[in-house]
Structure 1
């Protein structure tokens, strides 16, 4: 499949990685981004102005900037953070630009579109919901003195940094309105891509928006999951690759997955992972997609090559795990 319509779901650095790769594979790319951040510049703007947090949306737009001078410059500009002793400290330029356009235009999606055109973004960015959300995590042992007690932790920052084991997440409000444009993009997509990214705070929240989950289950698009290169500290400590898929299945039992992409260098038991993938209805593709410097980061060029194989063949290969 050449130039497929692709919808990528997630937030933060994980979505940045997938979009940096996908924008070189297709020019029909839509990012659907989580809106639950409550920390840093985004959290401050959210609390002060009542807007959806712009930070993950900003990062997605930066990832879609081109490799020419215009794209590189604007990507750096919107990612730039002020350093001061006053109220602007740590605010990202892009966050302020996005919120300014929201106030002027009165339309979240239109405002993001204007920023995208200014940046020359190679794709579009949409929020997954039209209202700001809070993530609530069920955590085992959040209190180190009560290791066998399950408690609830609220807020993306608190969930990501909990000392306990996250068992699952939900949203407040529990039935938020999904972005209509996001629902339409999923309906019309050829492929939907989940991950990589912070599993409980960036990837799974999409499946807790009822309208969005329904669209992801019912779409005729094929679905791919790109697994992380390493556990996320505070979220998925000690998680195996297959544990990520088991949690995904618990949060959306009716969701079928066509392909799971994992880095061949980090998968210790490919047969076990392949069995977990089969249980979701898909096939496994093992490929080298990590940076060669030893850091747990995806190499955009290698990740793009893996996506090309997925989109062109429609699967990871035969029942034995594919290796490329």
Structure 2
């Protein structure tokens, strides 16, 4: 089995992760620990912990890809209701905490006990004003495991994997509880917190992001998770993206030790999978612009390959309100030293998203050049 390490967020590379699992790759996902929105926001603000939402989501994706859709996985995928009635919401939460859910009775006794125990730890750690709306049961269990095991996220992940029977791995790139993402815009201004960066205003998006930084404990850059570094040392292939470019992909290079670990394995291909659509983080950027940003983000010289979606027609197109990312007129010149796979990587049935099987086959060719490439326009520059 080829060992692939993927840097990204929880959902950006979901379909590709599933395709890799189904094709027999040994997958390790390395995800951000600095998400500050959604369910992670309530958990971080109430308990002072690192973001667990992307970790849980990536674990669920591995479970799907590995065909481990047990009742444990279905249970962890459940969410509480989104209702304003706090009393009703608390009663729904207690239904899970008391172990009253019928699905629990289908699980082995030791699994059932562990889940209820971790939910109990979680319940005892939150206050009466904690926002449970649309809360993920899997997030609650993972948080309970994290707190029960002395805030050791790697131990909590191993426990969660075992409960689900997952074979692959998911690690946050740092274990720092206090890590915060900061974006420096090109006019010198700053935007703090990941959730604010992903929702840049129209004016901020037009100015554009120059680079992103991470602030950990005492304002210092956070240290890399040893488990993530260990995975990189054993990888046969490393992939960045797709996903939110600055916050979920490039941000990992701001973790102290990650770039050095990548540089320590020069023989391992390092591939950037370019997004198909623009987002508020990449308004008016091209694929060439984003490749250049790897250098600004501390990744100069790290990439060996890039997958770039080809736009076949000379017209501006949009999907779901977002424009398609162009290749960039200077792609060939700026791609010097890279293997570029420039092809139609879009899923023909889901516009704006990657064709996961085609991406997987292309990555297979990169890992084993003796196999046939799928990209019709491969260039060595």
TM value normalised by structure 2: 0.74
Find the partner of 1:289 among 338, 345, 356.
Answer: 345
Could you tell me how far apart the structure 2 residues matched to 1:47 and 1:117 are? 28
Matches within 5 A, 1:105-116: 105-106=149-150, 107-116=152-161
Q: For residue 166 of structure 1, what is the aligned residue in structure 2?
A: 209
1:310 aligns with 2:310: no
Q: Which has the larger radius of gyration?
A: 2
**Is the CA contact 1:66–1:72 (under 8 Å) kept in the aligned structure 2?**
no
Aligned residues: 308
Query: In structure 1, how many angstroms separate the alpha carbons of the residues matched to 2:263 and 2:8?
Result: 17
Partner of 2:335: 277
2-side partners of 1:210 and 1:316: how far apart?
Answer: 37
In 2: Cα distance, 1:248 partner to 1:77 partner: 39
Q: Which moved more, 1:19-28 or 1:222-231?
A: 19-28
1:310 and 1:316 in contact (8 A); partners too: no
Runs (5+) with no aligned partner, structure 1:
141-148
- For the residues of structure 1 that align with 2:191 and 2:342, how far apart are their CA atoms? 35
Corresponding residue number in structure 2 for 1:35: 33
Which stretch of structure 1 is more off in the superposition, 64-73 or 103-112?
64-73
Deviates more, 1:242-251 or 1:73-82: 73-82
Offset, 1:316? 10
In structure 1, distance between residues paired with 2:278 and 2:370: 27
Between the aligned partners of 1:249 and 1:65, the Cα distance in structure 2 is 34
Q: Is the 8 A contact 1:136 1:172 kept in 2?
A: yes
Distance in 2, Cα, partners of 1:57 & 1:98 = 9
Alignment of 1:121 with 2:166, yes or no, is yes
| Aligned equivalents of 1:258, 1:310: Cα separation in 2 | 10
Please give the alpha-carbon distance, in whole angstroms, between the structure 2 residues aligned to 1:269 and 1:44.
Answer: 39
Go from structure 1 to structure 2 and tell me whether the alpha carbon gap of 1:68 and 1:294 turns closer, same or farther (over 3 Å shift): closer
1:201 offset after TM fit, Å? 0.4
CA displacement, residues 123-147 of structure 1 (integer Å, 9 cap, x when unaligned) = 100110011311111124xxxxxxx
Distance verdict in 2 for CA 1:205–1:5, change over 3 Å: same
CA RMSD of aligned residues (A): 2.6
1:194/1:224 contact within 8 Å kept: yes
Q: Are the equivalent residues in 1 in contact too, given 2:182–2:193 (CA < 8 A)?
A: yes
Aligned-partner Cα distance in 1 for 2:16–2:8: 9
Q: Per the alignment, in what secondary structure is the counterpart of residue 18 of structure 1?
A: helix
Bigger mean CA deviation after superposition, 53-62 or 307-316: 307-316
How far is 1:269 from its partner?
Answer: 4.8
Task: Give the TM-score normalised by structure 1.
Answer: 0.86
